[in-house]
Amino acid sequence: MQHLIHTNNDDIDEKKELKEKVQDETIQKLYHKSEEEKASAIANKHHLPYVDLSLIPVVAETVKLISKEIAQNAGLAVIYKVGKKLQIAVKDPENYETKKALEKIKVEDGMNYSLMVVSEDSLKKAWLSYETSTVTKKFEDQGVTLKKEDLTEFEKGVHNIIDLKKRIAEINTTEIFNIIMAGAIKTKSSDVHIEPNLDYIRLRYRVDGVLQDIVNLPIKASRTIISRVKMLSKMKLNVSDMPQDGHFSINLENKIINIRASILPSSFGESIVMRILSEDSTGLKLDELGFNQYYMEKIEEQLLKPTGMLLVTGPTGSGKTTTLYSFLHRLNQPNIKIITLENPVEYRLEGISQTEIHPDTGLTFAEGLKAVVRQDPDVVMVGEIRDPETAEISIQAALTGHSVLSTLHTNNAAGAIPRLLHLKVSPTLISPSINAVIAQRLVRTLCEHCKEEYAPAQETIDKLKEVISKIPRNSAMVFPKDIKTIYRSSGCSKCNFIGYSGRIGLYEIFTLTQNIEKIILQSTSASEIMAKAREDGMITMQEDGILKAIEGITSLEEIRRVTGEIFVNKA
Ligand SMILES: [Zn+2]
């Protein structure tokens, strides 16, 4: 009897095993192309959505809702959380450990969840969120480029985060502050954020435009850091309930680095932001901004025109000013007089007279511009057009023999036209005065040292192919023949474990053709202007980005972060 039951059980187990084996083999056979294909097949089998986590931003704090041990043992990662509902990525919904952990989440933690299926690679990427990026880790394998005394202490005693916290508790003000600044400069950060919370201070660096968590400092370090910043930037030491700002400089070997500091009172104390004004960011070579060949030729052609206006649009931090500076750099010849009006002057350019406007003392863009035009310039750069008067004088300057460069705050290139009309520019003046409109965004470029090619799922490839098929064929772009792989990065010591290093622009450009001219006189709708610009061969910022991602310059995740959900444009 016992024997029989035993055999029966064995039999059932064997059958089940065999069935699973066959199923697995079928999956392997059918979808041997890539890990992503396998994940996609498993998802189909269980009627669950499949997601490639290389393509969407993963929020570390969400992943950390479940401990590293549980997540890795169960082969899962929490991707979204809305109220009591979680979206959990799993590799295998049938896995015993996975099911057990999910049961616990439901019963013990009282959370609802929905599942999606991801590949092993995707899970590993999500789990990277557990690797707290610490100052210590970021400094590994990097040569000392700072003044020795700034880092000696740090490198002597600190091997891990515990050491760092201990060290910070022991060392004096100057040392903590120097470690923070040294770290920021080493990681090529643009800003240092020091934010007090209830029982700790959060230290973050902005690297290539994105904030990175560095370390939580003990709350008692707060007072010393704040007084150090105040002292250095000549702020009032005894004032802590008012915003203050100032600047100071750091001597670094033979270089002087200027820092702009700002202090703002918050509910847990004063928070500090320090902007590092690095001279290195003056990479003003036009061919390094990331214009594709097609757009580069358009730009070169436009820059040769002696009159008319070139507008660069985009939100704050999209790199508009750098683009304008590189145009000025290109135009800067002994026989050409260039005057700029800026707020503030960000870089000093030799041979160009740069004027800083001060609206509070009456030197507005409009007033400055009136004076500039009387100085007989060939090229005028107006920092930003944001009021009707500046718009009017700029347009007049462009119509009367000057080349005018400026920026507008709009979301896309087509949006510049309704914006100008809104600033009371007559539609009949737009075509004669505007030569071209450029819109741009900045994306981070994949680290050359740790980027890797991988095969995404077929649905991802199909989407990319569809997007590319809708790019106007008269845009004279080189299109990829076939797409088999795209790129991602895992992070290495060279990129401070971020996976990216440096930034590049995404662009969309249209010139004022007859086609556009006609529509401006008939309609003020950005979407109609966009449609005409597409007819003329304009590729969008997102399309430009997707082509750059296929080339391996950046990742699809980054394109999505900066330009939003990837969608297929109408032809
Ligand atoms: Zn790297």
Q: Give the pLDDT of residue 171.
A: 61
d(CA 487, ligand 1 centre) in Å: 13
Q: Convert the pLDDT of each residue in 46-97 to its tens digit.
A: 999 998 887 777 778 788 888 899 999 999 999 888 888 899 999 999 999 9
Report how far residue 168's alpha carbon sits from residue 153's, in angstroms, rounded to the nearest whole number. Answer: 11
Q: Are 387 and 366 in contact (CB under 8 A)?
A: yes
Packed helices 526-535 and 514-522: angle between N→C axes, nearest 10 degrees: 160
Report how far residue 313's alpha carbon sits from residue 406's, in angstroms, rounded to the nearest whole number. Answer: 9
Strands 112-117 and 85-90: parallel
Positions of CATH 3.30.300.160 in the chain:
31-128
Report how far residue 224's alpha carbon sits from residue 169's, in angstroms, rounded to the nearest whole number. Answer: 11
Instruction: Give 294: exposed, middle or buried? Use CB within 10 Å, 0-12, 13-18, 19+.
Output: middle
H-helix or E-strand spanning residue 205: strand 200-207
d(CA 500, ligand 1 centre) in Å: 6
d(CA 503, ligand 1 centre) in Å: 14
d(CA 446, ligand 1 centre) in Å: 8
d(CA 73, ligand 1 centre) in Å: 27
Q: Distance between alpha carbon 330 and the CA centroid of its chain, in Å?
A: 27
Strands 308-313 and 76-82: unpaired
d(CA 78, ligand 1 centre) in Å: 25
The DSSP string of 43-69 is HHHTT--B--TTSS---HHHHTTS-HH
Q: Give the pLDDT of residue 160.
A: 40
d(CA 489, ligand 1 centre) in Å: 7
Thinking of the domain 135-279, which architecture would CATH place it in? 2-Layer Sandwich (3.30)
d(CA 140, ligand 1 centre) in Å: 13
Q: Give the pLDDT of residue 556.
A: 95
Q: Convert the pLDDT of each residue in 343-401 to its tens digit.
A: 888 777 888 889 989 888 888 999 999 899 889 999 999 999 999 999 999 999 999 99
| Phi, psi (deg, nearest 5) at residue 191 | -145, 150
Domain 31-128 CATH (choose: 3.40.50.620, 3.40.50.1010, 1.10.579.10, 3.30.300.160):
3.30.300.160
What's the token pair of residue 140? 């590994």
d(CA 282, ligand 1 centre) in Å: 23
Q: Distance between alpha carbon 167 and the CA centroid of its chain, in Å?
A: 33
d(CA 292, ligand 1 centre) in Å: 24
Residue carrying structure tokens 């820092």: 259
d(CA 501, ligand 1 centre) in Å: 7
| Phi, psi (deg, nearest 5) at residue 331 | -80, -15
Which residues are 215's β-sheet partners? 203
Q: Give the pLDDT of residue 88.
A: 94
d(CA 199, ligand 1 centre) in Å: 33
Q: Give the pLDDT of residue 296.
A: 95
Q: Are 270 and 194 in contact (CB under 8 A)?
A: no
d(CA 499, ligand 1 centre) in Å: 5
Fold of 286-563: Rossmann fold (3.40.50)
Report how far residue 40's alpha carbon sits from residue 462's, in angstroms, rounded to the nearest whole number. Answer: 14
Question: Within 13 Å of residue 492, how many CA atoms lie on the same side as its CB?
Answer: 11
Report how far residue 76's alpha carbon sits from residue 95's, in angstroms, rounded to the nearest whole number. Answer: 10
Report how far residue 14's alpha carbon sits from residue 485's, in angstroms, rounded to the nearest whole number. Answer: 39
DSSP class of residue 290 equals -
Positions of CATH 3.30.450.90 in the chain:
135-279
d(CA 553, ligand 1 centre) in Å: 13
All residue ranges of the chain with pLDDT < 50 are: 1-8, 29-32, 133-148, 151-155, 157-163, 165, 281
d(CA 117, ligand 1 centre) in Å: 27
- Torsion sign over Cα 516, 519, 520, 526: negative
Report how far residue 93's alpha carbon sits from residue 100's, in angstroms, rounded to the nearest whole number. Answer: 11
d(CA 496, ligand 1 centre) in Å: 7
* pLDDT, the chain, mean: 84
Positions of CATH 3.40.50.300 in the chain:
286-563
- Exposure b/e, 405-429, CB count within 10 A at least 16 = b: bbbbbbebbbbbbbbbeebebeeeb
Q: Give the pLDDT of residue 8.
A: 47
